């Protein structure tokens, strides 16, 4: 009996690659192959060799084939969802000229400030791109490279985002999508194209950039014979344009034009993000006004310090990450890598309110609270960006969907539940970025809408936890420390 068609959704994140082998008809997750990445750098530097990503993709696909027992001939499509914003510069043969500057590399903070001023301030940027330059955005990293290594910048033959680099290796065709492109600050969400004035400002020739596909599900080519041989897959299968990791998670949840709109999501990973899919083009200086992978929009706020920072605090305290208690009087802002929201690229961690009776478990709980309050403070702004009133009872009753690695942790779930005061839905699948990419791959293979595909699969479904009374005391205590400390954290 022939196997059902299978698609592969690739989640190439900061720390690892996952390859989700998925039944294209039912959405059943057959296996997830995994392979680690390596991140280097001290201080504000965070870099990875893009070749490591390709090797990890190859190893993850091999592991997924072995675990699933899928015959390679059953695979009909593949798509990559990648960590956003990273700067990959290539030579004329398509090989990296240097390690990629990652999204959480904060060395370009001065360039972000300069670029914001050069265009006329935050409003001028949001009118064009939907976002204001911060150190995370790719445009600031390109300016940093031009200023710090002009010879290498001049030698660059192609500029790519992480997912673009992998997609081009798969198909032999350069392509990106509106979702990931909207995180560069050289793509305009107002026009749906690269912005010539911004490219001039950056000294970036459009010929160095990949063409922008219509959506992340667009079939931009077929798996080349060379890449097929490396991956152990059939040549000629559909390769989708792919997208950024947050956009892919939205697809995996069934969010977008063919699914749910204006429902909030909180993703707990290396970074913390809060977003919602909407038909309204966002233009708020407080948010990243991204495009979504399906033609809608994805207003999003992102913090640099989430699960990895809290795990570091647990390690320093020699505690298991679940061995935490509410923070009592202590407030801990775990800004171990600077911070993006609020924009404090030079910040470090801050601890205050320590008492003789403060326990290590309370200090760890305070780290959870500091990270959660930081990202949850942006939730209302995300809703406003979609044209909603956060105080509207109907809007306030919409549950918060909790995804990412942290959503599998009891303390993370209870901390967010307590501090948000909202009902939570925790999708049963913990691989929504990879499953979103699988839906993009299925769409590229069949022509069907990717959000409709993911909705039919039910990948965003999960149990709902009832709302509890909001912990206003902790919310206000952490918020007051943040507001008071922010000016001193700028330097």
Q: Is 111 annotated as a binding residue?
A: no
- Locate 319 and state its tokens: 């505690």
Q: How far apart are CA 17 and CA 38, in angstroms?
A: 11
205 catalytic? Reply is no
Q: How far apart are CA 461 and CA 466, in angstroms?
A: 15
Q: Is 85 annotated as a binding residue?
A: yes
Sequence-separated (6 or more) residues with CB below 8 Å from residue 447: none
Q: How far apart are CA 360 and CA 321, in angstroms?
A: 12
Q: How far apart are CA 177 and CA 335, in angstroms?
A: 31
Considering 177, 195, 245, 311, which one is annotated as catalytic? 245
Question: Which residues make up each annotated binding site?
Answer: 84-85
Positions annotated as catalytic residues are 245
Question: Which residues make up each annotated binding site for substrate?
Answer: 84-85
């Amino acid at each position: 009996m022939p196997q059902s068609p299978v698609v592969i959704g690739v989640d190439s994140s900061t720390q690892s690659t996952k390859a989700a082998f998925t039944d294209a008809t039912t959405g059943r997750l057959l296996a997830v192959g995994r392979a680690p990445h390596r991140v280097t750098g001290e201080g504000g530097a965070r870099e990875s060799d893009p070749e490591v990503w390709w090797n990890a993709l190859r190893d993850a696909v091999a592991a997924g084939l072995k675990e699933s027992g899928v015959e390679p001939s059953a695979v009909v499509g593949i798509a990559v969802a990648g960590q956003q914003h990273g700067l990959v510069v290539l030579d004329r043969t398509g090989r990296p000229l240097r390690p990629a500057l990652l999204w959480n590399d904060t060395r370009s903070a001065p360039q972000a400030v300069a670029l914001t001023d050069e265009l006329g301030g935050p409003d001028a940027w949001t009118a064009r791109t939907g976002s204001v330059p911060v150190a995370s955005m790719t445009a600031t990293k390109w300016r940093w490279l031009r200023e710090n290594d002009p010879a290498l910048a001049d030698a660059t033959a192609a500029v790519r985002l992480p997912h673009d680099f992998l997609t081009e290796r798969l198909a032999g065709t350069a392509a990106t999508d509106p979702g990931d492109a909207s995180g560069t600050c050289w793509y305009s969400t107002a026009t749906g194209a690269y912005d010539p004035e911004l490219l001039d400002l950056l000294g970036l020739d459009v010929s160095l950039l990949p063409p922008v596909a219509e959506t992340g599900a667009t079939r931009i080519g077929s798996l080349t014979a060379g890449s097929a041989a490396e991956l152990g897959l059939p040549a000629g299968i559909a390769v989708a344009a792919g997208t950024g990791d947050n956009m892919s998670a939205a697809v995996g949840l069934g969010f977008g034009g063919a699914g749910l709109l204006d429902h909030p999501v909180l993703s707990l990973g290396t970074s913390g993000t809060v977003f919602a899919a909407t038909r309204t083009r966002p233009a708020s200086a407080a948010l990243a006004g991204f495009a979504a992978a399906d033609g809608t929009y994805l207003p999003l706020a992102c913090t640099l310090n989430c699960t990895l920072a809290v795990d570091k605090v647990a390690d320093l305290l020699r505690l298991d990450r679940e061995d935490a208690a509410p923070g009592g009087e202590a407030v801990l802002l775990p800004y171990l890598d600077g911070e993006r929201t609020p924009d404090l690229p030079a910040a470090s961690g801050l601890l205050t309110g320590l008492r003789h009776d403060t326990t290590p478990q309370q200090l760890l709980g305070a780290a959870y609270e500091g990270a959660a309050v930081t990202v949850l403070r942006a939730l209302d702004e995300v809703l406003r960006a979609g044209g909603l009133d956060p105080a509207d009872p109907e809007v306030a009753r919409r549950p918060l969907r909790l995804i990412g690695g942290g959503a599998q942790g009891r303390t993370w779930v209870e901390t967010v539940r307590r501090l948000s005061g909202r009902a939570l839905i925790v999708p049963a699948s913990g691989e929504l970025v990879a499953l979103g990419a699988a839906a993009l791959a299925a769409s590229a293979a069949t022509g069907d809408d990717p959000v409709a595909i993911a909705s039919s699969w039910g990948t965003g479904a999960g149990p709902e936890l009832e709302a509890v009374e909001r912990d206003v005391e902790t919310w206000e205590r952490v918020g007051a420390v943040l507001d008071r400390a922010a000016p001193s954290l700028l330097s």
